[in-house]
Chain A
Amino acid sequence: MGTLRFEGKFVEVHDGDTIASALFRHGIRTFNRSLKSHRRRGLYCGTGDCANCLVTVDGLPGERACVTPARDGADVIRETGWPSTERDALAINDKLHWAMPVGFYYKMFVRPRWLWELAEQVIRRATGTGTLPVSARAEPKRTRYVRVDVLVIGGGVAGLAAASTAEGRVLLADEGMIAAGVSDTGTRVAIDRLAAQARAAGVEILERHTATGIYAGLSVPLVGPQEMVEVECRRVVVATGALEAHGVFSGNDLPGVWLARGAARMAAIHGVAPGERAVVVANTTQGAACAQTLREAGVDVVEVTGRVLEARGSKQVSSVSVLTPEGRRAYSCDALVLSLGWAPRDSLLRMSPDADVFGAGDVLWPGCGLQDAETSGRAAARGERLEPRLGDPWPILEEDGYVCVCEDVRVHDLEAAWDEGWTSSEILKRYTTATMGPCQGALCSRHLAAFTESKGAVPNAQGRTTARPPVRAPRLEDLIGGIHEVIERRTALHDLHVAADARMDHSGVWMRPGHYGDVDEEIRAVRERVSIMDVSTLGKFLVGGRDARALLDWTLPLEVGAIEPGRTRYLLALDEAGYVMDDGLLAALGDGTYYLTSTSGGADRMEASLRDWADRLELHVHLVNQTAQLGAINVAGPNARDLLAELSHDDLSRTAIPYPGHADITVAGVPCRAIAVGFVGELSYELHHPRGRSGDLWTALLEAGRTWDIRPHGLDALDVLRLEKGHFFLAQDTMPDDHPAKLGLDWAVTMRKPAFVGKMALERMAGLPLARKLVGLRFDGTPQRGAPLTVDGAIVGRVTSCARSAAVGHPIGLGWIRTVDGEFPAALRAGGPTASVVATPFYDPSGVKPRG
């Protein structure tokens, strides 16, 4: 026992309740309003097949109340109607059918053109179902794979019989819980017996996992509450059962009209009578059983056979007319229970003509008994294809009534569309939107086929419309399952950073230390003493082979041949449009071999580009991506060389390791390629070394660095340090269409080279005036990153980086600006603070410090 909160009121919840049963017991009869006409809609199928009972639960819209367990403390609201579902002013639409004929949105509001934009907003507000919880972050669902021999979809008698018979690895998936909602004792006993057999046979059973489609392969996605499961299998048994046929007659959508199984479940499982006086139209044996169940629940039952002609009522059904064998009869009642025949849930079967997909049970033999269900399940598991038994004839459509209750499509609408010339099932579907609602035609696709056939459509224009995935409406988080799964790369030093209480941040695909507790102190350590940073995330490539230089000469806009062995050069990588793709360093190792580093986030693209060009130009190049193999630690600060001298016997002089340049040295017994760099504007050495030795090297540097009160620094400190040097972060400070001139990097491009990737584009763009560029900014306050830069109120740019710099003495930043009247503005506003365009670097403008 418990309570849920329903539109501000507390509703008692009994054990085993669904949200629908709890609300129905509480007296709620209208669960929804229809899409266009805003007619009242109540519980109908009770099996999760129709869309009448969609509610918002704990902020999540579109939950099917009849199959969603009621949880203590749940917050439930209805989704449609204005100002409320119960008192809906938009119900006036039900009197305005003349104004909203079928397909009206294709014909009206066409001219003037602005009218449609207005109308669309009104229509969207007036229709629709729930509201997307845009402020709540949906947790991405994980995705996993399963390979099995046989996948059984459906955990009823046929499905369990198939699963317990199938050989090899067998997986059974059911969108509900096994045996939940089964009110018939005989069926329950059979399910319990077969479930025990299946489990004993080692069958894996996934409950609350919905198969949304069958793809070639065979591949079947299963959507579970917390995961997406991609199943690959050799055989699929579809045992999804059947639902009771939807009845189409005037008033068929009134609250109080039930399909029999839903009514029986409500009475037998939840102990809630669906009404006081029920008319049960029992054209099947299950209908008669349902009538008995209702009687046992205390309902005054009138059991009849025949065709329902009409149901009447305002808030709910109050009387019905039935054409019985004895003639037309009228009954007063508050529940009309329909057992008109069977409609197989065969969407999955129809979307998969694959030879290895088999049907079993009701989906193949609608309305079959327990023995037939078990027999067909076992046959399907063995790969025996059974002939479908003719189910019920096409359903009968009376002159009025809702064919598609999801989309509010009536018989009259189909007639009107037919008269307009839409004379096949497929185009009737598209024009009227029948079968295109949340139930995806589960109720009405046979009715649409029946209609076209009754109208005499040509053979290939009648029949069922194509079934396509998904058969159940998925959530957006299901559609992105796996895509946004975080697969983090960790450096070899990850555990040491965590042990040092570093705040670990996601930086692209990597986990990196943001800071170790005191960013200002980390910055001071770099500027005044010595500090180390884990830069293992950099892309690292060895480029060898006799055409290595040719490849690099072609792909990079610098004079590769001018780089002497032992020297290093800053590199820009451009794409064919001349836009900056990445940057890094190129070191000449001698013997025609080069070592190239790229940004952490750009490594994969750099590798792809180099390999692509090597293949296209048929160059003899050997490219080795050493990103995973090598760690890298940057030792930076005025005492960087002193620290290395404590741990190395190698020559560390400027002659041995020039700036920019590199040398192979041994530090603390670890073989390193030391590269003199200047990104943070101090004497700095990146030590590239075997990843397996990263921990030894890091620990030794920290130990030896105590003399200078060494501190490691993280990304937060790096952000300020590089900004003080005016260095950009690719993607943060740059735009996808930035060419070197926009970034002030013309010096990094050697246009005198005969050819390189992007050169032709740069030549063409050189003749165009520069309309936007990245500039250094000095502020009189600290703006927010991303703040617009304005001149006289007009936005002319954006702040891409900013920080209060202790070394410079005032807030600084980078940002891009556009020209105003043909000239770049020098004074701007960045929200509150004023900004002046100034030259970079802000710190050590002469660049002497990195040279040591």
Chain B
Amino acid sequence: MAELRARSLAVVLCAADPAALDALVAPGHGARMLRTARDEALFVAPPDVAPQVGREVADRIAAMDDDAVTLDVSDGWAAWDLTGDDAAHAFSYLSQLDAPIEGAFVQGDVAHVAAKVLGTPSGLIMLVPAYWRAHVRERAVRDASAREVLSP
């Protein structure tokens, strides 16, 4: 059975020229760069490194786009870990998206709301706007736990 757990993550947003984002060297600190739009990228990292990630991104992007916007938007996102052998199967009860493999990410409809989904070694991370935190948990419990593919 898969497991769903809330987790804390740092999310840094960078809105900049597409060319600047194309050329941007991703920061360290374990941050993953998610190119969410032509002119936007999110950097997902452990929660304690948000300031460092923000600073590095801001510094690097400024050289290529001097009015780029870099913001720590961690408060705007709710993150869930979906782990276990059945993670992809449990995910299929929430979304028509293909569960991303490790290192990949997809964005689209999860539990009828807009989400980013990251493949991890242990399963998936689902990111949704914070105001849908309760909704995603309720839907996962209702749809996946009820089918015994997710531990309640």
Interface residues, chain A, with chain B CB atoms under 8 Å away: 142-148, 169, 204, 230, 232, 482, 485, 487-492, 494, 510, 542, 544-546, 592-593, 620, 622-624, 626-630, 690-693
Contacts and interface: CB of A to CB of B under 8 A. Distances in A.
Interface in B61-102: 67-69, 71, 73-77, 89, 92-96, 98
- Nearest first, the 5 A-B pairs at minimum CB distance are A629-B76, A622-B15, A147-B92, A489-B131, A628-B129
Interface stretch (B23-31, B52-60, B115-123, B132-140): B132-140
B39 interface: yes
Interface in B118-152: 129-135, 142-143, 147
A546 B15 CA distance: 13
B69 A624 contact: yes
B67 A629 contact: no
B148 to A, nearest CB: 9
B135 A692 contact: no
Nearest to A169: B89
B76 A628 contact: yes
Contacts of A627: 76, 129, 131
Contacts of B74: 692
19 contacts: A142-B143, A144-B143, A145-B92, A147-B98, A148-B92, A204-B147, A230-B96, A485-B112, A489-B129, A490-B131, A490-B132, A490-B133, A545-B15, A622-B15, A622-B69, A624-B15, A629-B75, A629-B76, A691-B75
A148 B95 CA distance: 12
B76 to A, nearest CB: 3
A145 B143 CA distance: 9
A691 to B, nearest CB: 4
Nearest to A623: B15
B71 A542 contact: yes
Nearest to B144: A144
A490 B112 contact: no
B16 interface: yes
A491 B131 contact: yes
Given A629-B73, A629-B75, 7 more contacts: A148-B92, A489-B132, A592-B67, A620-B17, A626-B76, A629-B130, A691-B130
Nearest to B129: A628
A628 B131 contact: yes
Size bracket, chain B contacts: 20 to 34
A230 B77 CA distance: 27
B4 interface: no
Contacts of B17: 620
Nearest to B76: A629
B104 interface: no
Contacts of B67: 544-546, 592, 620, 622
A622 B75 contact: no
B44 interface: no
B13 A624 contact: yes
B6 interface: no
Given A146-B92, A492-B130, A628-B129, A622 B68 contact: yes
Contacts of A169: 89, 92
A62 B89 CA distance: 36
Nearest to A230: B96
Nearest to B11: A629
A693 B74 CA distance: 12
A620 to B, nearest CB: 7
Contact of B96 (A145, A492, A630): A145
A626 B73 contact: yes
A558 B34 CA distance: 36
Nearest to B92: A147
A545 to B, nearest CB: 5
Nearest to B131: A489
B82 to A, nearest CB: 14
B73 A144 contact: no
Given A145-B96, A230-B96, A691-B75, A628 B130 contact: yes
A490 B75 CA distance: 14
A490 B13 CA distance: 22
B40 to A, nearest CB: 8
Contacts of A545: 15, 67, 69
B132 A487 contact: yes
B15 A630 contact: no
Contacts of B132: 487, 489-490
A592 B68 CA distance: 12
A556 B16 CA distance: 23
Contacts of B130: 492, 628-629, 691
B15 A544 contact: yes
A783 B68 CA distance: 53
A488 B133 CA distance: 10
A290 B132 CA distance: 58
Nearest to A143: B112
A136 B96 CA distance: 33
Contact of B135 (A230, A482, A487, A628): A487
A143 B71 CA distance: 36
A536 to B, nearest CB: 8
A320 to B, nearest CB: 51
A624 B73 CA distance: 10
A796 B40 CA distance: 51
Nearest to B132: A489
B92 A692 contact: no
Contacts of B77: 628
A147 B112 CA distance: 15
Contacts of A147: 92, 96, 98
A546 B67 CA distance: 7
A200 B152 CA distance: 23
B60 to A, nearest CB: 16
A168 to B, nearest CB: 11
A828 to B, nearest CB: 42
Contacts of A485: 112
A144 B145 CA distance: 13
Contacts of A692: 74-75
A605 to B, nearest CB: 15
A482 B129 CA distance: 20
B93 A146 contact: yes
Nearest to A491: B131
Nearest to B99: A147
A487 B129 CA distance: 13
A620 B66 CA distance: 11
Contacts of A490: 131-135
Contacts of B135: 487-490
A627 B68 CA distance: 20
A510 B69 CA distance: 28
Interface centre among A204, A546, A624 (most CB of B within 10 A): A624
A691 B113 CA distance: 19
A230 B92 CA distance: 10
Contacts of B73: 624, 626, 629
Contacts of A629: 71, 73, 75-76, 130
Nearest to A689: B75
Contacts of A146: 92-93
B96 A232 contact: yes
Given A204-B147, A487-B135, A628-B131, A145 B71 contact: no
A622 B133 contact: no
A691 B76 contact: yes
Nearest to B130: A628
Contacts of B142: 142
Contacts of A491: 131
